[in-house]
C-alpha cells in the first residue's frame, strides 16, 4: 500500500468565509509537518534526535481557538512587511502612507488586523511522483489594507523533502509600488517545544555585521561590524554565553532581537546561501537556515514569560525558544541605503528559505 504523505483535516470552522484546515506533510524518514491556513502557520514540526526519537521543535497550540487568542506570531507567515517600520509611516512616490501603530510608536509585522499572520489563506495540497510534497497558499491583499498601497497577490509554498528540508517559497505581484518583506516566524527549541530554555543551543550566523537599534528597536541606519561584540556569531557560540553582557544593544533588545547583515546580500540569481546553523548538544539535532534574503532577524525569546500554555499543556517560559527570520532589513522603506524593499508593478517578488534538519 502506498504511504500517504499529505493530508487535510478540519481545524476550525468557517472564518472570513473560508474553511480553516490543518494540513499534514510527511517524508520517508518520518519527519512530519502540520500547517494551518489560518495565518499560514506552522503548527508542529516533528524531527528526530541522534537516537531516532522524534520531538516537536516549534512552539504552538493544540486548537484553533488557542491560536485565535494566543501569541499571534507562533509559526506564522508574516507580511506585508516583516519586522518594524518607524512611526508606522513611510513615503513613496511623493505620498505619505500611515500604518497601524501596533508596537509602541511603530508598525510591526504587517499590522494587527490584516497582517498575513491573521488572515485565512486559500490552500491546496500537492504531491509529486516522489519528492517533494507540499502545500500552496494564496492570499489577495487589497489596496489600502493596513494602510499599504496596491492590490497584492501573494503565494507561499511549503514543501518537505526526503532530506528533511522544509522549504518555504514566496512570490508576489502588485499593481502599485509597495513595500514588501515576507518571512516565517516559527519559535524553535531543538530539544523540544516547552523543554527548557535555549541558552545552551550553539549558534553560527553567517554575517560580519548587524544593524544596531534605538530604544524603540528601530535600526539607527548604521551597519556595524560584529567583531569584538556580543553579536559575533561568525563561529559557534552558545546563545546564552554573552546575552547578559553590559551592552546597550542587548539592553535595547532585551537580549538578541536584531537584524544581521548576511554575507553576499540579496541573491539576485535566486541561489540559496547559508544564513545560520544551530546545534543542540543534548538531543544532537541541528538546523541549517538557507535563504535568498539579505537579512536575518535573530530573536532569543526575550518576551516569552510562561503565560502561554502550549501543546501538551507545556508553558513557554522566558527564552524557551529562538527565531531566525529571513527578511529585508527592518524600516527599509525609510532608509534608502538599506537593500531595496519596494516591489514595482512590472516585477515579481521571489524569495526562498530552507530549514534543513540533521542529527
Catalytic residues: 185, 325
Strands (E), 99-164: 107-108, 122-127, 133-141, 152-160
Q: Cα 185 from chain centroid?
A: 3
CB-CB neighbours of 3 under 10 Å: 7
Tell me 250's DSSP state.
H
d(CA 327, CA 294): 7
Go through the chain and tell me how many residues it has. 359
d(CA 123, CA 97): 31
Cα–Cα distances in angstroms (integers) from residue 171 to residues 47, 274, 338, 348, in the given order: 27, 21, 21, 7
In contact, 263 and 276? CB cutoff 8 Å: no
d(CA 290, CA 326): 9
Amino acid at each position: 500500500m502506498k504511504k500517504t504523505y499529505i493530508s487535510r483535516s478540519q481545524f476550525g470552522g468557517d472564518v472570513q468565509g473560508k474553511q480553516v484546515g490543518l494540513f499534514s506533510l510527511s517524508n520517508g524518514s518520518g519527519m512530519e509537518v502540520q500547517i494551518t491556513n489560518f495565518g499560514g502557520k506552522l503548527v508542529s514540526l516533528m524531527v528526530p534526535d541522534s537516537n531516532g526519537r522524534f520531538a516537536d521543535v516549534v512552539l504552538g497550540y493544540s486548537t484553533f481557538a488557542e491560536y485565535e487568542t494566543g501569541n499571534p506570531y507562533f509559526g506564522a507567515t508574516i507580511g506585508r512587511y516583516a519586522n518594524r517600520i518607524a512611526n508606522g509611516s513611510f513615503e513613496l512616490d511623493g505620498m505619505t502612507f500611515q500604518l497601524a501603530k501596533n508596537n509602541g510608536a511603530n508598525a510591526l509585522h504587517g499590522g494587527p488586523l490584516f497582517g498575513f499572520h491573521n488572515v485565512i489563506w486559500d490552500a491546496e495540497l500537492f504531491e509529486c511522483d516522489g519528492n517533494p510534497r507540499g502545500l500552496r497558499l494564496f492570499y489577495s491583499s487589497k489596496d489600502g489594507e493596513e494602510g499599504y498601497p496596491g492590490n497584492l497577490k501573494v503565494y507561499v509554498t511549503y514543501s518537505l523533502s526526503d532530506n528533511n528540508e522544509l522549504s518555504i517559497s514566496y512570490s508576489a505581484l502588485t499593481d502599485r509600488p509597495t513595500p514588501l518583506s515576507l518571512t516565517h516566524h516559527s519559535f524553535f527549541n531543538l530539544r523540544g517545544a516547552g523543554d527548557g530554555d535555549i541558552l545552551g543551543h550553539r549558534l553560527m550566523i553567517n554575517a560580519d555585521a548587524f544593524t544596531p537599534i534605538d530604544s524603540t528597536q528601530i535600526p539607527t541606519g548604521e551597519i556595524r561590524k560584529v567583531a569584538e561584540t556580543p553579536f559575533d556569531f561568525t563561529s559557534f557560540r552558545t546563545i546564552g554565553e554573552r546575552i547578559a553582557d553590559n551592552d546597550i544593544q542587548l539592553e535595547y533588545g532585551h537580549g538578541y532581537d536584531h537584524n544581521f547583515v548576511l554575507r553576499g546580500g540579496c541573491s539576485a540569481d535566486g541561489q540559496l546561501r547559508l544564513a545560520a546553523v544551530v546545534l543542540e548538544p543534548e538531543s544532537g539535532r541541528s538546523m541549517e537556515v538557507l535563504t535568498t534574503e539579505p537579512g536575518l532577524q535573530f530573536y532569543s525569546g526575550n518576551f516569552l514569560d510562561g503565560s502561554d500554555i502550549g501543546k501538551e499543556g507545556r508553558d513557554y517560559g522566558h527564552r524557551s525558544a529562538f527565531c531566525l527570520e529571513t527578511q529585508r532589513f527592518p524600516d527599509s522603506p525609510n532608509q534608502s541605503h538599506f537593500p531595496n524593499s519596494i516591489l514595482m508593478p512590472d516585477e515579481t517578488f521571489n524569495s526562498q528559505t530552507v530549514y534543513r534538519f540533521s542529527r
